[in-house]
Amino acid sequence: MVILDASIVNVALPSVEEDLHFTPTGLAWVVNGYLLTFAGFMLLGGRAADLFGHRRVLITGLFLFAASSLVAGLATAPEVLVAARLVQGVGGAMLAPATMAVLNTSFTEPRARARAFGAWSSSGGVGGMAGALAGGALTTGLSWRWVFLINVPIGALLITVAFLSLAGTRTGRRESLDVVGAVTGTAGLAALVYGVMQTADHGWTSVPVAGPIVAGLLLLVVFTVVEARFATQPMMPLRLFKIRRVAAGNLMLLLFGGITIAMWYFTSLFLQNVLGYGALQTGLGQTPAAVTFMVIARWGSTLLPRTGVRPLVLAGSAFFLAGFGWLSQAGAGAGYLTSVLGPTLLIAVGIGLTFPTLMAATTADAPEADAGIIGGLANTAGQVGGSIGLAVLATAASATAGAEAGGNPPTATALAAGYDLVFLVAAGLGLTIALASTLLPRHRAG
């Protein structure tokens, strides 16, 4: 539900703009508002799960998500819809780390934990695949409002299931929330992500971009100093980074965020802007890769306890190199079957091998009392990596297409040149992930 909500809205945006009379700039915040609070509040959501109980925070997140979805679906003004999306992002930021914490504390045996994270990763693939298809179907068959209202009965069902099936979890410690750390960490992440988002309309050195990014980085420096020197009960205990899997895993997840953006976002643009596909055709064109990812994620998770982390990460990186290298050769005259389907299937195999492996490995050594914050950190690394990757890769693609067009409006050939550069950079990210895997412990399986 969380992943689906990041993508299902895209198809409905034209109807939302027409019905609620959004300005083009305001319309972007229907998407950006959700992503901003989702990334910004992830660490706080993870720490809250540790302090107040994983089930309690999970259910609270579900309630916020469902209630804000109801408000969004009934919205009659742009400001109401954007505000609801901001709250929805907060609910998602509570759900994602709490879910990981529940898995990590419920499945302590390596083989069972690996299977659980494989299933968790596959469910994310379902959400991503269903987003474009469900958004188009609901908007066309009913109304754009149903892309939000559909979350209400689902949320109510999940709350009931959580009450009935999850045991209450508390750390046993009496700790208060680190308010200064919560404010500086959350504000720093939100400002950083906000600044990166502005690169869609402004240059990197412009005030709307550089200002929030610099402010975000300064706040994160203050956050680090507070957590290291002054907080008696820190929101982010820096001792966790002494665990090699936590440090190396989050570095790889940061890089992996760029991989996923290159795969799902830029292949979508390639299909639409170069090959001329419509939104529904694009969704169908990406479905084989999404199904492959789901299958491989489940299968790869069963291998983790036997092979260990590094072999699966190296295998995934090899698939990234092969897939993105192949995809980077696609030009304006490319065919879907010969130039897109094959490489995206290879990349999907790489994602299926790598994503659940990294998630399981990053949280495997987490003390139970810190499972929520480590889950929040892992999700934050992927989200921030994706946001930065999107901004950097979009800038590179636009500059390349503009240079290729020679000052004229970019043609399909020029756009293809920009996307091909993105795919080459993504291949490089895959190689960097392989190098970073050498930082992981060698012999521990999972």
Residue boundaries of the structural domains of the chain: 1-175, 178-234, 242-446
Buried b (16+ CB within 10 A) or exposed e, 76-113: eebeebbbbbbbbbbbbbbbbbbbbbbbbbebeebeeb
Distance CA 96, CA 58 (A): 8
Helix-helix angle 207-225:179-197, to 10 degrees? 160
**Model pLDDT for residues 69-107, shown as the tens digit of each residue:** 999 999 999 999 999 999 998 999 888 888 877 887 777
- For residue 427, the model assigns a pLDDT of 93
Alpha carbon separation from 125 to 1, 195, 284 (Å, rounded): 11, 28, 14
- Architecture in CATH of 1-175: Up-down Bundle (1.20)
Q: Say if 1-175 and 242-446 have the same CATH topology.
A: yes
Segments of 172-285 assigned E as strands: none
Distance CA 222, CA 349 (A): 40
CA atoms in the 13 A half-sphere facing the CB of 392? 17
pTM as predicted: 0.77
Phi, psi of 115 (to 5 degrees): -65, -40
Distance CA 372, CA 94 (A): 10
Name residues whose C-beta falls within 8 Å of residue 39's C-beta, 6 or more positions apart in sequence. 93, 189, 190, 193, 380, 383, 384, 387
Return the closest-CA partner of residue 395 out of 279, 261, 278: 261
Alpha carbon separation from 81 to 28, 322, 389 (Å, rounded): 12, 42, 27
Buried b (16+ CB within 10 A) or exposed e, 194-223: bbbbbbeeeeeeeeebeebbebbeebbebb
CA atoms in the 13 A half-sphere facing the CB of 179? 1
Question: Which residue's entry shows tokens 């012999």?
Answer: 443
Which two structure tokens, joined as six digits, stand for 348?
């999907």
**DSSP assignment of 74-108, as one string?**
H--SHHHHHHHHHHHHHHHHHHHHHHHHHHHHH--
Which two structure tokens, joined as six digits, stand for 197?
């988002």
- The phi-psi region of residue 267 (left if phi > 0; otherwise alpha if psi is between -120 and 50; otherwise beta) is alpha
DSSP 273: I
pLDDT by 10s per residue, the chain, length 446 = 777 776 677 667 677 888 888 876 677 778 778 877 887 788 788 888 878 888 889 999 999 999 999 999 999 999 999 999 999 989 998 888 888 778 877 777 777 777 787 777 777 666 666 666 666 667 667 788 888 888 899 999 999 998 888 876 554 455 667 788 888 888 888 888 888 878 877 888 899 999 999 999 999 999 899 888 887 778 777 887 888 888 888 899 889 888 888 887 788 888 888 888 876 677 788 888 888 988 898 887 788 878 888 889 999 999 999 999 999 999 888 889 989 999 999 999 999 899 888 887 787 766 667 777 777 788 778 878 887 887 788 888 888 988 888 878 888 899 999 999 999 999 999 999 999 888 876 655 44
DSSP 37: H
- CATH top-level class for 242-446? mainly alpha
Phi, psi of 76 (to 5 degrees): -120, 0
Alpha carbon separation from 368 to 50, 117, 120, 145, 210 (Å, rounded): 8, 16, 19, 40, 39
- For residue 445, the model assigns a pLDDT of 46
Question: Which residue's entry shows tokens 């419509």?
Answer: 278
Distance CA 386, CA 401 (A): 22
CA-derived radius of gyration, the chain: 21
